[in-house]
Chains A and B, each alone.
Chain A
Amino acid sequence: MTDRTSQRRRRIDGFALFWGAPSFLWQGVFFLAPLIVLVAMSFWVVRNFRLTPDFVFGNWERMLTRDYFWAGYGYTFQLALLVALLASLIAFPVAHYLAFRARPGIRRLAIFLLITPFFTSYLVRIYSWKIILSTEGVLNVMFGWLGLGPFGMIDNAFGAVVGYLTLCLPLVIIIQVFALSAVGRALIGAAHNLGAPPLRTTLTVTIPAARIGLILAATFAFILSFGDYVSPTYLGGGTPPTMSILVVDQTKSGNHWPRASVVAVTMVLTLVTVLFAALFAAYGRPGKKT
């Protein structure tokens, strides 16, 4: 064992270090250190408008005993949960169609169209929704032609959900398509041959077989919406404030970074818990291992 270790150590030389070190150094300094500072800062104090290192629980006490904090937490959590469910339900027929029925050319084009928005300005797309959904916007003008409306579609939860779905749907569909494509056609064919009608096959064979991917997709939708600032602010109207809005308000206007970091750390803890719960649901269900 020691022999092998020393041998290995001799092989870690300039060449290996040159390729191995950059990622470690960069992410250590610019990713890990900021996160550590973020956690530490939640215990610091602000004295005479200056941030002073300390170890007090005042910020935690102050935030966790405020009603608006818990109202915001509940609202954010519910919205993110709703979006995870909605996005999964809306995406499933699409992913099912792309995975099993569409021709390969169509499927490739669809995936292409889904990847493109993922990397193109989300901010700009939300702005675009804002004018489409506003009182004088395109949709309400059209409703007006039918003698309906105008409907208030922004500055409320509906607007926020439209924004969240814009953010999540492409990714959820992509993950679901991959999850469903991995389900063997033979399995589904077998269910058909045994006389199961299509809907029953989908519910009892396809969905359980693709469970891991489906749960993962919903989890990503939850994580993305839970941390998003733009949709609840510009489409949701900012009231009640979500966790992300609390962070920005405490940082930008309140200028109280330690309190902002309390909210941020609470968000991280929540997301990690949700992620582990989801992984457990996906992989760890006892007695159901495949």
Chain B
Amino acid sequence: MSGARGGLQAVWTVAVFVFILTPIASLVVFSFNADRFPSLPWGGFSLVWYEAILEDQTVRDAMWRSLRVSASVSVLATFIGFAAAYTDYRYNFTGKMPYLALAALPPTVPVLILGLGMLSFFSMIDLVGTLRAVIAGHVVICAPFAMALIRMRLADMSPDLEPAAWNLGASRWRTMATVTLPWCLPSIFAALAITAAVSFDEFMIAWFVSGLEETLPVRILALLQGQVSPRINAIGSLVFFVSGLLVVIAQLLTWRRGAT
């Protein structure tokens, strides 16, 4: 292989990664800049923007709502994802294909379209303007991620393991609790983290159905319509740290399995 070509390719690869990571780096860096407009020259290190958002009641309320929503979503979506993954693993039945399609397809529909559909349907059943509406919508797009993660883990479990436990006299519930669930535990934790991260960041469905119950990303969307302000950098950095942390946790949990 020609060295020059490989070198050029490496430079290109680095450039593309710089493009992908630049907005995140710039966001965090300028959240500590004292100046009113986040640009060069550097105006000095400061925490004023973080203080400003922590004193802002609307931001604190929105943060609290987002945390509640993403906690509920992660538990619900992970349970539903696990149930669907286990059903796919254990059972064969007529209509399994449409069943799995329904369980897996939601993330492929643009959130904008889901949001509009949910807004109209939820307004018929009087759910619009509540956090429960946001939770219901987020579980729809999060459960498939949980299902995929857990199904990958189940694929590594011998299909004879459960029947062995049954033959030894354990009931199916007991087998589930003492064999299947412990086996899936790393992927369950990973699914909890990933679904929490997806919900914490999601703004389109939340924007359509939340009404006045703004979640944090919806608050950011509202701020974006106003002037550029380093306060958005500060909120954005917080949001990024929370979801980034969750994703890193999820990746470490799924990786440890790959290593052993």
Which residues of A come within 8 Å of B, CB atoms?
8, 12, 15-16, 18-24, 26-28, 30-35, 37-38, 41, 51, 90-91, 93-94, 96-98, 101-102, 110, 112-117, 119-132, 134, 136-138, 141-142, 165-166, 169-170, 173, 198, 223, 226-229, 234, 244, 247-248, 251, 257, 260-261, 264, 267-268, 271
Binary flags per residue of B29-47, CB closer than 8 Å to A gives 1, else 0 = 0100000011111000000
CA distance A24 to B140 in the complex (A): 11
Binary flags per residue of B205-228, CB closer than 8 Å to A gives 1, else 0 = 000100000000100110010001
User: Any chain A CB within 8 A of the CB of B260?
Assistant: no
What distance in Å separates the Cβ of B171 from its nearest Cβ neighbour in chain A?
9
CB-CB < 8 A to B119: which residues of A? 251, 257
B176-229, CB < 8 A from A: 194, 197-198, 201, 203-204, 208, 217, 220-221, 224, 228
In contact, B38 and A267 (Cβ under 8 angstroms): no
| A111, closest chain B residue (CB) | B251
Which residues of B come within 8 Å of A, CB atoms?
1-2, 5-6, 9-10, 12-13, 16-17, 19-24, 26-27, 30, 37-41, 79-81, 83-84, 86-87, 90-91, 93, 99, 102-103, 106, 108-114, 116-122, 124, 136-137, 139-140, 143, 147, 172-173, 194, 197-198, 201, 203-204, 208, 217, 220-221, 224, 228, 232-233, 236, 239-240, 243-244, 246-248, 251
CB-CB < 8 A to B20: which residues of A? 113-114, 117, 166, 169-170
In contact, B114 and A97 (Cβ under 8 angstroms): no
CB-CB < 8 A to A127: which residues of B? 27, 220, 224, 232, 236
CB-CB < 8 A to A38: which residues of B? 113, 116-117, 120-121
Q: Which of A27, A41, A134, A169 contacts B140 (CB 8 A)?
A: A27
CB-CB < 8 A to B37: which residues of A? 131, 136
In contact, B112 and A23 (Cβ under 8 angstroms): no
In contact, A267 and B113 (Cβ under 8 angstroms): yes
CA distance A51 to B117 in the complex (A): 14
Q: Which of A124, A138, A257, A267 contacts B39 (CB 8 A)?
A: A138
CA distance A121 to B224 in the complex (A): 14
Given contacts A116-B247, A268-B113, contact A121 B239 (CB under 8 A): yes
Q: Which of B5, B12, B110 contacts A94 (CB 8 A)?
A: B12
CB-CB < 8 A to A101: which residues of B? 1, 6, 9-10
CA distance A150 to B39 in the complex (A): 14
What distance in Å separates the Cβ of A3 from its nearest Cβ neighbour in chain B?
15
In contact, B13 and A93 (Cβ under 8 angstroms): yes
In contact, A134 and B228 (Cβ under 8 angstroms): yes
| A8, closest chain B residue (CB) | B93
CB-CB < 8 A to B117: which residues of A? 34-35, 37-38, 261, 264
CB-CB < 8 A to A97: which residues of B? 6, 9-10, 12-13
Q: Which of A27, A28, A120 contacts B201 (CB 8 A)?
A: A120
| B98, closest chain A residue (CB) | A24
Given contacts A16-B91, A123-B221, A138-B39, contact A31 B112 (CB under 8 A): no
Given contacts A119-B201, A127-B236, contact A37 B124 (CB under 8 A): yes
CB-CB < 8 A to B5: which residues of A? 198
Q: Which of B17, B122, B203, B228 contacts A123 (CB 8 A)?
A: B203
CA distance A113 to B20 in the complex (A): 9
CB-defined A-B contacts under 8 Å, sample of 26: A12-B93, A20-B91, A27-B140, A30-B140, A34-B114, A34-B118, A35-B113, A38-B121, A94-B12, A94-B17, A101-B1, A101-B6, A114-B20, A116-B247, A122-B201, A123-B220, A125-B27, A127-B224, A127-B236, A128-B236, A131-B38, A138-B26, A227-B113, A229-B204, A247-B113, A251-B208
In contact, B143 and A37 (Cβ under 8 angstroms): no
CB-CB < 8 A to B137: which residues of A? 30
What distance in Å separates the Cβ of A216 from its nearest Cβ neighbour in chain B?
12
What distance in Å separates the Cβ of A5 from its nearest Cβ neighbour in chain B?
8
What 10 pairs between A and B have smallest CB-CB spacing?
Answer: A227-B110, A34-B117, A23-B84, A124-B236, A128-B23, A38-B117, A34-B121, A128-B27, A125-B23, A20-B87
Most buried by B among A37, A91, A127, A142: A127
What distance in Å separates the Cβ of B16 from its nearest Cβ neighbour in chain A?
5
